[in-house]
Chain A
Amino acid sequence: MPMKGRYPIRRTLEYLQKGDIIFKKKVKIMTVNYNTHGELGEGARKFVFFNIPQIQYKNPWVQIMMFKNMTPSPFLKFYLDDGEQVLVDVEGKDCKQISQHVKKILGKSDEVLHAEAQAEMQASHPANFGPKKYCLRECICEVAGQVPCPSTKPLPKEMTGKYRAKMAQSQD
């Protein structure tokens, strides 16, 4: 049974996660003014139809508002944190061009994203042991092939601390 609606692929997690544009921290609001009719506004309509869900998924704290048929020509407007406003004319452009342009001016670049991913990886370094909140594993007993935890199965007598202490004492 196929999914309902036109282009239901827009409603899949995989499609949403494929979103390209991650805004810089200072972008707070994005406003799209577009028209429902007209050849020149076709790119804007496609942008709203296909790309807006991806953008909102990747930027959950940016407020996105759509306005229909308010002005003759379509445009995008971004409101940044310091009060600055960015106006992007979108008339006659293709939806791919629009998203590339937006990514270029207000999106985090690939190097920044890469660096952030690296920083996150360092937080979950496999060589670190500690509380579950900060590290992957708490004790080496969790790893397959290592000595099992003494809480589940008692250690062999030679490995226990008191046997070793007794041996060391009897040797001295």
Chain B
Amino acid sequence: MSGRKIMVHATWAIGKVIGTKMQKTAKVRVTRLVLDPNLLKYYNKRKTYFVHDSLEQCTVGDIVLIKALSVTRSKHVKHELSEIVYKVGRVVDPLTGKSVAGTEFVEPLSDLVLEENISLSDKLTELNISAASDSPSVQTPTS
């Protein structure tokens, strides 16, 4: 009965892949914040979904965006993989587009000109001081 229409709570969800041992299917854990009625504090409540992933591109630990399917694929699979948001070990910072490991960039940023060790003579040649005066118009006012 693969033509059944699904009634799923959420059309979109984000979760972490916890298992890929099934063929073309990933097990994804989605956490939602649920209010504890007595403590009035939010805690993560987890739910696992079986997600269809036709290219088998997920590894355990990826953060993925899943989308509800219009027709259910099988008894348990009601979602499909939309995109891998953060691939484990190869996280790309969306603001700069560079690869990132934790709070550090993998390669140092190249647009910042960092101080290199220039020798003193090089610095002097840059300044270009010479004994002869350059501009003849510079004259000290004499009373």
Binding site for B on A (CB under 8 A): 11-13, 16, 28-29, 31, 35, 37-38, 52-53, 56-57, 61, 63-65, 67, 69-73, 75, 77, 79, 81, 83, 87, 89
Contact = CB atoms under 8 A, between A and B. Distances in A.
B84 to A, nearest CB: 13
Nearest to A38: B103
Contact of B12 (A11, A28, A35): A28
B95 A87 contact: yes
Nearest to A31: B14
A71 B14 contact: no
A35 to B, nearest CB: 6
Query: Which of B13, B39, B40, B100: most chain A Cβ within 10 A?
Result: B40
Contact of B40 (A16, A61, A65): A16
A75 B91 CA distance: 14
15 contacts: A11-B41, A28-B10, A29-B13, A31-B14, A35-B103, A52-B33, A56-B33, A61-B10, A64-B32, A69-B102, A70-B100, A70-B102, A77-B94, A81-B11, A83-B82
A24 B39 CA distance: 28
A12 B100 CA distance: 38
Closest 4 A-B residue pairs measured CB to CB? A11-B40, A28-B12, A71-B93, A56-B33
B94 A64 contact: no
A29 B100 CA distance: 23
B103 A81 contact: no
A72 B93 contact: yes
A6 to B, nearest CB: 12
A89 B95 contact: yes
A79 B102 CA distance: 23
Nearest to A11: B40
A67 B102 CA distance: 11
B14 A73 contact: no
Nearest to B102: A69
Given A52-B42, A63-B32, A73-B95, 5 more contacts: A11-B39, A63-B30, A65-B31, A70-B86, A79-B12
A13 B41 CA distance: 10
B35 interface: yes
B42 A56 contact: yes
A2 B31 CA distance: 31
